[in-house]
Amino acid sequence: MGLLPKEKADTGPVERSGRLSVIRVECYAGYRGEETPRRIHLGERTVEIVDVLERWRTPEHRYFKCEAADGVTYILRHEAFGDRWELSVYKRSVLE
- 84 within domain boundaries: yes
Question: Comparing 22 with 96, which gets the higher pLDDT?
Answer: 22
Q: What is the pLDDT of residues 25-84, one digit of tens each?
A: 999 877 766 689 999 998 889 999 999 999 999 999 999 999 999 999 999 999 878 888
* Cut 0.75: pTM above it: no
Number of domains in the chain: 1
Residue 77 counted as domain residue: yes
Mean pLDDT of 84-95: 78
Instruction: Tell whether the torsion through CA atoms of 69, 72, 75 and 76 is positive or negative.
Output: negative
Q: Is the pLDDT of residue 91 over 70?
A: yes
The answer as to whether 1 is a domain residue is: no
The C-alpha atoms of residue 39 and residue 26 are separated, in whole angstroms, by 5
Residue 13 falls inside a structural domain: yes
Residue 18 inside a domain? The answer is yes
* Domain of residue 31, residue span: 6-92
